[in-house]
């Protein structure tokens, strides 16, 4: 079967050049296998993982020309022979974390393990960003809760994972210490009610974070940036603290960690990877988590900020708006716009 899609012809470290190289093209889709479904795509976001993918710096590398996009939403239109035919017509959110054609397309083929069947009340724009970020925030906060921490520190705080973390953490009565790189994002967070917000450029950030981490008993720091930011967050944590690295937005190696803290203060660094977390759950456990999270999207407690949408024709312009102001929210890519 053929579908219209966005095609990446060349990886490029320079993201603007990579974006300018994106083209709309007719591509070939494989027939759905026995455990797969064909989905008519409603929308797909551009995430930092897509940016890293187009730069050739992600852990998934596809043969070129390739269709980008790791998640999205849509409707099942065809089912493989091991899948109940009654699922045709169902709304889904999906997350394809492999090297097959991605979600920036009119149609996509996904394995049954990569789809989430949705409640009819779920908004399909929100569903396009449902499979990755809300689950990531939920899962990392479950890790945090196990430690008995009363607070958390995080960076890239204007981003969507960080917004979900803040919402979940404050719901548990935890203090949240936020770090952003731009003053306007700090102001926006404070206006939205965030209590402890710092900019990376604050000359006293190291001392301030250290003090506040002790005052709030923050044993966990979530790091989406890496580079020097990892050291700043890690060093701010008190004894028994743990830095959880889940992103590398700075494209820099982790640096600046105090070795004595690791040796004498029992402080640790771990990573977080959503597919690996998911693979440790039973189907029933995953379904229960999805139902809880979906209910919060349906009642509006949780929401992904969406700053705009783009069709295939003006994709480079649309995505440029996203990369120049990521904190404003996701840009949805919609076939047929
Ligand atoms: N490990 C996992 O399983 C997993 C799962 C989901 C997401 N992630 C990661 O989580 C991170 C956040 O994703 P998201 O979807 O929440 O992002 P997002 O909503 O697109 O926002 C990105 C945020 O990061 C900030 N940022 C970008 N580059 C930065 C840099 N070099 N230094 C400091 N801040 C920077 C942006 O601020 P500006 O407005 O200043 O640009 C923005 O607030 C990404 O690294 C993503 O890959 C990991």
Provide the pLDDT for residue 94: 98
Domain hosting 268: range is 133-275
Q: Does 36 share its domain with 119?
A: yes
**In the prediction, which pLDDT does 30 show?**
86
Atom 22 in ligand 1: residue holding the nearest Cα: 159
Q: Return the ligand 1 atom nearest residue 247 CA.
A: 45
The pTM is what? 0.97
The response to whether residue 49 sits with its C-beta less than 6 Å from ligand 1 reads yes
* 156 CB near ligand 1 (under 6 Å): yes
Those residues of the chain that have pLDDT short of 70 are none
Q: Which domain CATH number covers 32? A: 3.90.180.10
- Is the Cβ–Cβ distance between 92 and 39 less than 8 Å? yes
pLDDT in tens, 28-86: 998 999 999 999 999 999 999 999 999 999 999 999 999 999 999 999 999 999 999 99
Nearest residue CA, atom 9 of ligand 1?
247
Query: Per the domain annotation, does 76 fall within a domain?
Result: yes
Q: How many domains are contained in the chain?
A: 2
In a domain, 61, yes or no: yes
Please, which contacts does 213-217 make with residues 24 or more away whose CB atoms are closer than 8 Å? Answer: 213/151, 213/153, 213/177, 213/237, 213/238, 213/241, 214/238, 216/150, 216/151, 216/175, 216/177, 217/149, 217/150, 217/151
């Amino acid at each position: 079967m053929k579908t219209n899609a966005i095609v990446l012809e060349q990886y490029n470290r320079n993201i603007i050049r990579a974006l300018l190289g994106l083209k709309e093209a007719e591509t070939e889709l494989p027939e759905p296998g026995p455990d797969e479904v064909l989905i008519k795509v409603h929308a797909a976001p551009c995430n930092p993982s897509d940016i890293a993918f187009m730069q050739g710096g992600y852990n998934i590398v596809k043969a070129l020309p390739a269709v980008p996009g790791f998640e999205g939403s849509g409707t099942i239109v065809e089912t493989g022979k091991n899948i109940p035919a009654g699922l045709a017509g169902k709304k889904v959110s999906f997350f394809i974390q492999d090297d097959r054609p991605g979600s920036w397309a009119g149609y996509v083929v996904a394995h049954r393990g990569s789809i989430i069947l949705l409640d009819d009340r779920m908004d399909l724009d929100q569903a396009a960003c449902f499979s990755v970020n809300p689950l990531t925030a939920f899962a990392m906060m479950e890790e945090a809760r196990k430690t008995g921490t009363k607070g958390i520190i995080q960076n890239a705080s204007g981003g969507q994972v960080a917004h979900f973390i803040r919402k979940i953490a404050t719901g548990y009565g935890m203090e949240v210490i936020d770090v952003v790189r731009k003053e306007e994002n700090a102001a926006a967070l404070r206006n939205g009610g965030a209590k402890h917000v710092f900019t990376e450029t604050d000359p006293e950030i190291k001392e301030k974070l250290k003090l506040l981490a002790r005052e709030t008993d923050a044993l966990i720091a979530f790091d989406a940036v890496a580079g020097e930011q990892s050291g700043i967050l890690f060093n701010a944590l008190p004894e028994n603290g743990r830095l959880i690295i889940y992103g590398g937005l700075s494209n820099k190696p982790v640096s600046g960690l105090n070795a004595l803290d690791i040796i004498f203060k029992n402080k640790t660094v771990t990573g977080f990877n959503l597919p690996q977390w998911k693979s440790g759950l039973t189907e029933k456990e995953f379904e229960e988590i999805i139902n809880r999270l979906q209910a919060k999207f349906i009642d509006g407690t949780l929401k992904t900020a969406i700053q705009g949408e783009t069709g295939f024709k003006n994709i480079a312009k649309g995505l440029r708006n996203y990369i120049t102001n990521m904190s404003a929210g996701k840009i949805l890519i919609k076939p047929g716009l």
